[in-house]
Amino acid sequence: MKLTLKIWRQKNARARGTFVTYRMDDVSPEMSFLEMLDSLNKKLVEENLEPVAFDHDCREGICGSCGMYINGHPHGPVPAITTCHLSMRHLRDGETIWVEPWRAKPFPVIKDLIVDRSAFDKIQSAGGFISVNSGGAPEANSIPVKRKNADDAFDSAICIGCGACVAACKNASAMLFVSAKISQFALLPQGRTEAKERVRAMVEKMDELGFGNCSNTGACEAECPKQIKLTNIARLNREYYKAY
């Protein structure tokens, strides 16, 4: 495949960024998108030019490290996958591909396609936990959990914290991310004890960090690589009302 890449290059948070054009003549449709970037970087390194910086790690869609805007979509044009699972066979020969970092104020650019997502960790440490000490847990089967609840909690708990929801949202809202954790714990008896404190603390932190409000557009759900549902946001709102 032959491709024209327009990649956002930015030295650091303070520097001005710009799109740089790279032409690739020997891309195999069997490569993953990140492997295509690897091969570009290999060439750059061999010419002693700085390679394109991007976050990545497990390359199997579960760690949540990778994430970039590809042709206007977080994680690229294919729904329900992370960037590392995007294959070049999903793109067209001869295409011009625009690659950008997440664009959201609470996620400042560190370098090129790498952004600072530590705001997500701050929200989680505000209340995304159940307060139980090691050794203080009751026997695992002493509290039965409805299978449906356990399954629904799982469906919320699979969020990988990649940030695509925030990047997709015109308000840079973190509601889908926060609601996934709130839902997981709200659905389990173990999480009910602290439900009120948790939702207050997490929402307060989310607001403080500059994430926007939800206006029910649903772009987050459409772009989420793990298909976290919008109904989580409804549950978050319900939990929030109950907490005051």
Which 118-157 positions form the footprint of another protein (CB under 8 A)? 118, 120-121, 124-141, 143-147, 150-151, 153-154, 157
Residue closer to another protein by CB (options 81, 230) is 81
Q: Does 57 bind another protein (CB under 8 A)?
A: yes
State how far the Cα of 179 lies from the Cα of 139, in Å rounded to an integer. Answer: 28
Amino acid at 89: R
Q: Over the range 112-136, which residues count as b (16 or more CB within 10 Å of their CB) and which as e?
A: bbbbebebbeebbebbbeeeeeeee
Instruction: Please state whether beta strands 69-70 and 73-74 pair in parallel, antiparallel, or not at all (unpaired).
Output: antiparallel
Structure tokens at 178: 């926060």
Binding mask 197-226 for another protein (x = CB under 8 A): ------------------------------
Residue closer to another protein by CB (options 73, 117) is 117
Restricted to residues 10-29, the positions that interact with another protein (CB under 8 A) are 12, 28
State how far the Cα of 205 lies from the Cα of 91, in Å rounded to an integer. Answer: 39
Amino acid at 45: V
Part in contact with another protein (CB under 8 A); list of ranges 91-99, 168-176, 186-194, 212-220: 186-194
75: left (phi over 0), alpha (psi -120 to 50) or beta: left
Q: Report whether 93 contacts 152 (CB < 8 A).
A: no
- Give the shortest CB-221-to-another protein separation in angstroms: 18
Count of residues binding another protein (CB under 8 A)? 78
- Give the shortest CB-133-to-another protein separation in angstroms: 5
Q: Does 31 bind another protein (CB under 8 A)?
A: yes
Q: Does 236 bind another protein (CB under 8 A)?
A: no
Amino acid at 43: K
Task: Out of 19, 62, 105, 234, point to the residue binding another protein (CB under 8 A).
Answer: 62
